[in-house]
Structure 1
Amino acid sequence: MVKDSIYANKKMMVLGLAKSGYAVAKLLKKINCQVTVVDSNPLEGNDEAKALIDDGYDVITGNNDPKLIDDSYDYLVKNPGIPYSNDLIKHAEELDIPVITEPEIAYSCSDATMVGVTGTNGKTTVTTLIQLMLDHSPQFNNSYYAGNIGIPISDVIQKATDKDVVVTELSSFQLEGTIKLHPHVAVLNNIYSAHLDFHKTRENYINAKMHITKNQTPDDYFIVNWNTDEWRKLAKRSDAQIIPFSDQQELGFGAYAFEGNIYYNRHLIMNEEDIRVPGEHNVQNALAAINVAKIFGVSDGDIIEVLSKFAGVKHRIQYVDEFSDRKFYNDSKATNIEATIVALQAFKQPITLIAGGLDRGNTFDDLVPSLKGKVKNIVVYGQTAAKMIDAAKKAEIGNIVEVENLSQAVPEAFKQSSAGDIVLLSPAAASWDQFDTFEQRGDQFIDDVEKLKGNQHD
């Protein structure tokens, strides 16, 4: 249900459509804002723009001239992926018009209990696990997930009531454009170096992530990975109650893993081996979710049921199929080196790796130790192919093959692999050199695996 918002009755420009831009434009109209939508894509093939025009919105397509905005506007709501170097955004800032993102609007319009999840890796898995666990909470009628997971928060909050909970995955791109966003529970799953092409420095990236807790009070909760000094120090920035989790040490309170078992407040919950999805990182993801579930009274039995049945989220070390004694996994969401390292560590079997994508200017030297001894074949493609080959050589991988695109990479990886191997798509790079999204890339991989399987049985 939509409540009164501080953004009601304002003059707004929405820059960039896709799912979130379309959703927030509709929400702004519901709170009586004067809305102008600007999208650089042409009208042809722009379904969201056409739908808004049909509904009577002021929509400008194929253009983002800075002169489109003037000092009569109260706010500019930008698509999270549009950089602040965009000329229209720079002009808005020159006019002292605040530049915000869709979650800022959505949070201000909702009476539901809000849980926010951020981190470099594992956000989608943690968000999903929390939502599944909170389905069992006696405190809520309904539990929803939204945000960077692929569902606009602006859509979900319109059906969520004050008796519901909304678990939101929040990227650094979304969080940087927030002012008053205030989740009751915030989760910091981890922070590595990522998206520095957008944020420019690691400090900027961390500061964007920490927006998730900047408005929290002692009545709120901040769930923090306790595995590094850096993350423990970041917790000190928050005014919320800190609840740690760790798979590397025993803790006096909070969730932790020790000697193969999982505990909460020193109380045994389950064995690590009963978590269905593979990998040490998924133990950490489970611990983060347990901390949130326990705040809201979820029982041990319901937590065990979720963790023992949850098979993983799509595009994140997602099991796809098995044939010819090879297992295929889709990890398209691994858009950075750290995510690929996590995927490689999840398997004990030999790996035939498919990697490559958008060149953000970085090398892949940090990937070398994880490639060494784990990956026996690598198939590379995309803008980063040459850099990935360099890393593969440093890792002494004996079999390196370059192809032009993902559809060529799948049959080639099968050809290079042996019985008992894992064939893993984990690109270590963004998808935007050849795909619009990592989801599109992952779906392409799944389709190519299905075609390959069909060819094996012809």
Structure 2
Amino acid sequence: MVNSRNCSRSRQTSPGEWRPGLSDLARYRVFVLGLGRSGVAASRFLLDAGSTVLGWDDSERVKQSAVVRQLKQAGLDVSRRSAAARVDLVVASPGIAGDHPILRQFARRGVPVVDELDLASLYIPGPLVCVTGTNGKSTTTALIAKMLSAAGQTVFCGGNIAPGRPLSAALRLRRRDWYVAEVSSFQLERARWLSPHVALILNITPDHLDRHGSLEEYAECKFRLIYRQRPDDFAILAWDDPLVRAARDRGHAKKLFFSDRRCVKGAYLKRGQIWFEREQVMPATDIRLHGRHNRLNALAALCAAKVIGVGNGPLRMVLRSFVGLPHRLETVRVLYGVEYVNNSMCTNPAAGARSLESFDRRVVLIAGGREKGLSPAEFADAIARRAEWVVLLGENRERMAQELRSRRFFRFELADGLRNAVKAAKSRARSGDVVLFSPGFASFDMFRDFADRGRRFRDEVRRLR
């Protein structure tokens, strides 16, 4: 096993690059914009470091929450007027875009704006593993953390993963051997310091174009994960994704790959067996997770664990036992021979298509939600090929109905509300079928977030008799 202590070396900055030391923070005035999960964690860390912390959130409910009240008692100054005050640094929550009026105000004054995860990465006391991509980030992040834990290492697992903790929360805990973080395009958009020892880019398909503007800009955000790596670091890339594979010449890290289509330098599938380099590790059929996309997630996680130094025993144990995270192809119950599967985390059309391909049984699909500037064509094509029946709900149900009709697929109905959608799916399913809740779009038309949507689906399924 790699001695993780040897990996926690200081990251050198380029000449002239500004980088605040931990002791510098005691002299800083920092404005935290957004007091949700990441903003609260950043505020706690900064207050502990002795910073003067000013904060704001556009939501009155958030500003009146118990956790923000506690932060105010610890010294946080919550006032929109503080946006006009002199500050040295702005920490913006990832969900807040650069055109927010307060951020534009600070930009005009030349105040640096960073993300909570990026700031925290400066002070993490051990080696950092970061996972990004359009789909599969959380599953792969959790697999790597479990593999390291199974090998006897202490691990902090966090970042963008939900449920989970922001990376800055780790700075208030005892030191771990390894830090494993999921990283989103929103977090990478403002990254100026992030430099993981091991970086993984799983896949890139169109997503969040309502914020990034184009697939090219979105991909560039993802590639920022590997730009500051050093020659003794590792970048693990998806060989089967042409857009990701094209990044093999970027950055200075050693490049490895994962693939289920060809033998590569890294982890791959060959004649039903999983290999790393020239070493046979285990049969692919031993992986508990559903679907090709999860097989690729497993290969990526295995590749990362192997370059770190994890032996085959812990890898096999984890891959044979890990059944997935909540809201990701999660079996809720089996009723009258019908399996009800919660895949509420499916928030883009490409993920919707992949989820349908995960089953070789008849699928009754529940889909629909709020669009994010993405074409639904790939999802609609997969539905027309693989779904037995579809129940459409949410903001874009009429749009999806039109897409299906244009493909001469008419086995669908529209539902008002999730309860009616679940009842409709039950009436169409027969023993041996899967009722798959895989929306393919964002949740904000009807729900607080994907987790709220998934919990509501679970509740409705458990009410069925």
**Common fold by TM > 0.5:** yes
Q: Which residues in structure 2 correspond to 1:298-317 (within 5 Å)? A: 298-317=310-329
Match of 2:166 among 141, 152, 155: 152
The answer to whether 1:390 aligns with 2:402 is yes
- Tell me the residue number matched to 1:219: 232
- Tell me the residue number matched to 2:341: 329
Query: SS state of the match for residue 268, structure 2?
Result: strand
In structure 2, the CA distance between the partners of 1:6 and 1:244, relative to structure 1 (3 Å rule), is: farther
With normalisation by structure 2, the TM-score equals 0.91
Query: Any conservation in 2 of the 1:120–1:192 contact (CA below 8 Å)?
Result: yes
Q: Deviations over 1:298-326 (max 9, x none)?
A: 11121111000001111111111111111
The alpha-carbon deviation at position 368 of structure 1 amounts to: 2.6
Match of 2:34 among 16, 39, 46: 16
Query: Any conservation in 2 of the 1:71–1:95 contact (CA below 8 Å)?
Result: no
Q: Deviations over 1:110-131 (max 9, x none)?
A: 1121100000000000000000
Tell me the distance in 1 between the aligned counterparts of 2:210 and 2:145: 32
Match of 2:378 among 354, 366, 383: 366
Query: Any conservation in 2 of the 1:431–1:438 contact (CA below 8 Å)?
Result: yes
Match of 2:68 among 37, 46, 49: 49
Query: Any conservation in 2 of the 1:52–1:59 contact (CA below 8 Å)?
Result: no
Query: Any conservation in 2 of the 1:377–1:416 contact (CA below 8 Å)?
Result: yes
Size of the aligned set, in residue pairs, is: 443
Q: Which residues in structure 2 correspond to 1:116-195 (within 5 Å)? A: 116-137=130-151, 140=153, 142-150=154-162, 151-161=165-175, 164-195=177-208
In structure 2, the CA distance between the partners of 1:189 and 1:58, relative to structure 1 (3 Å rule), is: same
The answer to whether 1:352 aligns with 2:364 is yes
The alpha-carbon deviation at position 72 of structure 1 amounts to: 1.8
Tell me the distance in 2 between the aligned counterparts of 1:364 and 1:422: 22
Tell me the distance in 1 between the aligned counterparts of 2:339 and 2:157: 30
Query: Any conservation in 2 of the 1:112–1:157 contact (CA below 8 Å)?
Result: no
- Tell me the residue number matched to 1:228: 241
Query: SS state of the match for residue 27, structure 2?
Result: coil
The answer to whether 1:282 aligns with 2:294 is yes
Q: Deviations over 1:283-342 (max 9, x none)?
A: 100110111111222111211110000011111111111111110111111100111111
- Tell me the residue number matched to 2:50: 32
Query: Any conservation in 2 of the 1:5–1:109 contact (CA below 8 Å)?
Result: no
1:231 partner letter:
V
Question: RMSD over aligned Cα, in angstroms?
Answer: 1.8
Identity %: 33
Query: Any conservation in 1 of the 2:55–2:82 contact (CA below 8 Å)?
Result: no
Tell me the distance in 2 between the aligned counterparts of 1:170 and 1:8: 27
> More deviation in 48-57 or 167-176?
48-57
Query: SS state of the match for residue 75, structure 2?
Result: coil
- Tell me the residue number matched to 1:293: 305
Query: SS state of the match for residue 276, structure 1?
Result: coil
- Tell me the residue number matched to 1:203: 216
Gap runs ≥5 in structure 1 = none
Q: Deviations over 1:37-67 (max 9, x none)?
A: 101111575233222223332113xxx5xx6
Query: Any conservation in 2 of the 1:376–1:398 contact (CA below 8 Å)?
Result: no
Q: Deviations over 1:250-305 (max 9, x none)?
A: 12x31001221110012111111110011111110011011111122211121111
> More deviation in 337-346 or 103-112?
103-112
- Tell me the residue number matched to 1:247: 260
The alpha-carbon deviation at position 7 of structure 1 amounts to: 4.7
With normalisation by structure 1, the TM-score equals 0.93
Query: Any conservation in 2 of the 1:332–1:426 contact (CA below 8 Å)?
Result: yes
Match of 2:350 among 323, 338, 352: 338
